[in-house]
Chain A
Amino acid sequence: MSASAPGRPGVARPRRPTEDPAWLRWALCLLAVVLLGMFLLLPLVAVFAEALRRGVGPAVAALGDPDALAAVRLTLLVAAIAVPVNLVGGVAAAWAIAKFDFPGKRVLTVLIELPFSVSPVISGLVYVLVFGAQGWLGPWLEERGVQVVFALPGLVLATIFVTFPFVARTLIPLMQDQGRTEEEAAATLGANGWQMFRHVTLPNIRWALLSGVLLCNARAMGEFGAVSVVSGHVRGETNTMPLHVEILYNEYQFVAAFAVAGLLALLALVTLAAKAVLERAE
């Protein structure tokens, strides 16, 4: 490529004004590939390599351990509760923000981002403060036989908090972009609020909604910080998969730790693949 013969046939294609020189393009691509490989691909490979270092047998055995199975079950249970809650809450928040004007709309928009900006550890601590034995509501709940912290409700609450923004954040820009005229048209045609939502709004956001739910699910299964604070780390009872990985690792059971980590990573990969397929379908 040379700039000395612009436009001469058979020599060099003239460079478009927005195109960078070849060496720069290659350098940038290389940089991206190296960074991606070092920081994303290599760790992922390492997880599976470590898990299978002594062969498939020990890895599978580690996953068959009752504590590991309990962690998998608990993780799936927490996600199964937290994701639907965030689905409904996220859609409601996005619908309100994108389609209506009301006082406090800006504040709500900012609040939705809060879980992303606050450290997960703090989110967990807040729940301990509120619902713990010495907390504001803890004693009152305990008298009624409800344990929140160091039990399933605490795990679910912390997970809901941390993963709340995913659905709402995916939907808000799309819904704002789509505007509200289709809903208005539905209203003039006689639709009530539910019919408007069911027949007009929901079909228009379905792909984005699915993608938001998948991301929310991936994060719900992988959340560590907030869950770690409210869990109490009772083996076989309040340990989710990420917490179980940490415990195994700290006990130098590397194969078992990486086997569980590999399973977790696999779940995440499946989620991402599903998301990619969905985006294609769209």
Chain B
Amino acid sequence: MAVQFSEEKLNKVKEIIARYPEGKQKSALIPVLHLAQESFGGWLSAETMDYVASLLQIDPIEVYEVATFYSMYNLKPVGKYLFEVCHTGPCMVSGSDNIIEYIKERLGINVGETTADGLFTLKTVECLGACGYAPMMQLGKFYKEHLTKARVDEIIAECRAKAN
């Protein structure tokens, strides 16, 4: 499948570029990479990055530099549902270690792995700014906060139901 944004998304790219002064379209790189990751399977392949470079008329290396710097860009395929559980200090004192262990047990994978059915990937991440509502994880666009084992069970069941 050739990497190509839909007409609607190309318009979105134009709208993003228009936020900056003339000739400063490189500033659109980070937002456009988000759009590309969402559009092309949740990760950035070399082909996707090259496509973004051509859209913004910059060198591919300028895209690789950025894509490898920021932690939200996935440089290899991930499961349909990416569990990004915070394990920094404030979450840790609120029990994030137990939550991570429980998710590992429930999904049968280690941190950094994807389930065999391709549904779930588990990652640990650094502080997401939800310290008062810990333990927590990011799931797609939103946060899941005040996690308990029961809540984790619910979230996994909701994801499975949606995938079917």
**A, B from the same assembly:** no
Chain A residues in the interface with B (C-beta under 8 A) = none
Chain B residues in the interface with A (C-beta under 8 A) = none
